[in-house]
Amino acid sequence: MSKIPDKRPETLGGYVIHGVPFPIDTDPEALAFLKRMSPIQIEQKYQVTYLHSYGQDSPWFAAASNRRLLATRHAESGYTYATPRGHDMYSGEETVWIDITDRPARVHAFTVCHFGSEEFLPETPFVLALIEFENVNTLFLTRLVGVDPDQATLDWIGMQVEPRFLRNSKLKPTDVYFAPSA
């Protein structure tokens, strides 16, 4: 018969505890300071494994990981979305996938970002651009490389560009970016 331990084993378990004051004397006067006590702070590592699904956008990510750029088009009206949509925004009907990798593309508008999310902060400044494709009704938001963000010029508007892809796909929207056409 196993003996039930009378104490739970203790470990630090990755916790770092900051500022835990408590008086040695526990009479009511000594405990009065607890009303003014700063909050206790506990520092610990936190990790979550997150299962994410791209759902109906999965074909776009599969294409990008194979160096192809997909868009969607409403079969009846021909309205084409550079940033894919599962359903047409006017009729609500399903769209079909089309490949726009080799279509002529140009810079429609751009901005130089001097601040970004944590992932992009080390890369600032960078150029964010709206790309216009031939026979596509909407624009595609992406990064523009191969230009100097410190020498931004309106001459970039209308510049011919082409898609480029990360060599090792991360299955993220940033797997595709654009650069001036060769």
Report residue 120 as tokens: 């992009």
User: What is the identity of the amino acid at 115?
Assistant: F
Query: pLDDT, tens digit, for every residue of 106-137?
Result: 999 999 999 988 877 888 899 999 999 999 99
Q: Containing H/E element for 59? A: helix 58-64
pTM of the model: 0.72
Cα 11 off chain centre by: 37
- The per-residue pLDDT for range 57-113, each reduced to its tens digit, is 899 999 999 999 999 999 999 999 999 999 999 999 999 999 999 999 999 999 999
Q: What share of the chain is helix, strand, coil (3-state, %, to 5)?
A: 15, 30, 55
Specify whether the CB–CB gap between 172 and 138 falls below 8 A: no
Please tell me the distance from the alpha carbon of residue 83 to that of residue 138, in angstroms, as a whole number: 7
Across-strand partners of 176? Answer: 165
